[in-house]
Amino acid sequence: MSGPHIEVSDLVASPSLLEGLNPAQVEAVTAPDVPLLVLAGAGSGKTRVLTHRIAYLVATARARPSGILAVTFTNKAAREMRGRLEGLLEDGVQGMWLGTFHAMGARMLRQRGDLAGVPRDFVIYDEVDRQALLKEAMREAGVDEKRFSIGSIGGEISRAKNDLQGPGAFAAAARGFTESQAAKVYPRYERMLEANRALDFDDLLLKVVRMLEGSEVALGRYRERFGHVLVDEYQDTNRAQYQILRLLVGEHRKVTVVGDPDQSVYSWRGADLRNILEFQRDYPEALVVPLEQNYRSTAAILRSAGAVIQENSLRLEKQLWTLGPEGDPVQVGQFYDEREEAAAVAAEILRLHRGGEVGWGEVAVLYRTNAQSRALEEVLLRGGIPYRLVGGVRFYQRKEVKDLLAYLRLLANPRDRVAFERVINVPKRGVGAQSLAQIRDAVQAQGGDLDTVLRDPQLAGLRGASGAGLSRFAEMMAELREFGSGWALVEVLDWLLERSGYRALVRDGSPEGEERWGNVLELRGLAAEQGEGPALQTLPLFLEQLALAGEVDQLEDGSRGAVTLITLHQVKGLEFPVVFVTGVEEGLLPHSRSLDSVSALEEERRLLYVGMTRAQRRLYLSHCFQRHLYGSPRGATPSRFLKPLSALEGTSGWGAPGSFVAPASTRGQPLVLTRARDALLAEATRPSPSEPAVARFTAGERVEHARFGRGVIRVSEMTPGGEEVVIDFDGAGRRRFAVTDAVLRKLG
Hey, how many other C-beta atoms are within 10 angstroms of the C-beta on 147?
A: 10
Query: Is the Cβ of residue 550 or residue 644 nearer to DNA in the bound state?
Result: 550
Nearest Cα residue to 47 out of 538, 435, 573, 643: 573
To DNA, the closest distance from the beta carbon of 244 in angstroms equals 13
48 is catalytic: no
Nearest Cα residue to 54 out of 103, 22, 91: 91
Phi, psi of 199 (to 5 degrees): -120, 145
Q: Which residues contact 465 (CB under 8 A, 6 or more apart)?
A: 430
47 is catalytic: yes
To DNA, the closest distance from the beta carbon of 551 in angstroms equals 6
51 is catalytic: no
Active-site residue identified among 10, 203, 232, 602: 232
DSSP per-residue string spanning 476-505: HHHHHHHHHTTSBHHHHHHHHHHHTSHHHH
CA–CA distance, 504 with 497 (Å, rounded to integer): 8
To DNA, the closest distance from the beta carbon of 27 in angstroms equals 29
Nearest Cα residue to 51 out of 3, 92, 10, 103: 92
To DNA, the closest distance from the beta carbon of 390 in angstroms equals 7
Three-point CA angle 217, 219, 222, nearest 5°: 105
The gap from C-alpha 270 to its chain's centroid, in whole angstroms, comes to 15
The gap from C-alpha 329 to its chain's centroid, in whole angstroms, comes to 32
CA–CA distance, 113 with 28 (Å, rounded to integer): 35
Query: Is the Cβ of residue 425 or residue 622 nearer to DNA in the bound state?
Result: 425
To DNA, the closest distance from the beta carbon of 19 in angstroms equals 30
Query: Is the Cβ of residue 254 or residue 627 nearer to DNA in the bound state?
Result: 627
CB burial of 228-240 (b: ≥16 within 10 Å; e: otherwise) equals bbbbbbbbbbbbb
Hey, how many other C-beta atoms are within 10 angstroms of the C-beta on 663?
A: 10
Burial (CB count within 10 angstroms: exposed 0-12, middle 13-18, buried 19+), residue 433 = exposed
To DNA, the closest distance from the beta carbon of 511 in angstroms equals 18
CA–CA distance, 310 with 609 (Å, rounded to integer): 10
| 405 membership: H or E segment, kind and range | helix 399-412
The gap from C-alpha 138 to its chain's centroid, in whole angstroms, comes to 27
Query: Is the Cβ of residue 132 or residue 680 nearer to DNA in the bound state?
Result: 132
Nearest Cα residue to 381 out of 431, 342, 426: 342
Active-site residue identified among 27, 30, 46, 338: 46
233 is catalytic: yes
To DNA, the closest distance from the beta carbon of 630 in angstroms equals 4
Sign of CA dihedral 46, 49, 52, 53: negative
Q: Which residues contact 193 (CB under 8 A, 6 or more apart)?
A: 125, 133, 199, 200, 203
Query: Is the Cβ of residue 64 or residue 628 nearer to DNA in the bound state?
Result: 628
Residues engaged in binding DNA (CB under 7 A): 73-76, 100, 102-103, 126-127, 145-146, 149, 151, 158, 201-202, 238, 265-266, 268-270, 368-371, 391, 394, 425, 428, 430-435, 466, 548, 550-551, 567, 569-570, 591, 593-594, 600, 604, 628, 630-632
Query: Is the Cβ of residue 406 or residue 680 nearer to DNA in the bound state?
Result: 406
Query: Is the Cβ of residue 593 or residue 702 nearer to DNA in the bound state?
Result: 593
Active-site residue identified among 190, 233, 340, 515: 233
To DNA, the closest distance from the beta carbon of 628 in angstroms equals 7
Specify the 3-state DSSP secondary structure of 95: coil
Query: Is the Cβ of residue 33 or residue 126 nearer to DNA in the bound state?
Result: 126
Query: Is the Cβ of residue 202 or residue 723 nearer to DNA in the bound state?
Result: 202
To DNA, the closest distance from the beta carbon of 548 in angstroms equals 4
Active-site residue identified among 25, 72, 241, 263: 263
626 is catalytic: no
Hey, how many other C-beta atoms are within 10 angstroms of the C-beta on 337?
A: 17
232 is catalytic: yes
Residues with active-site annotation: 46-47, 232-233, 263, 614
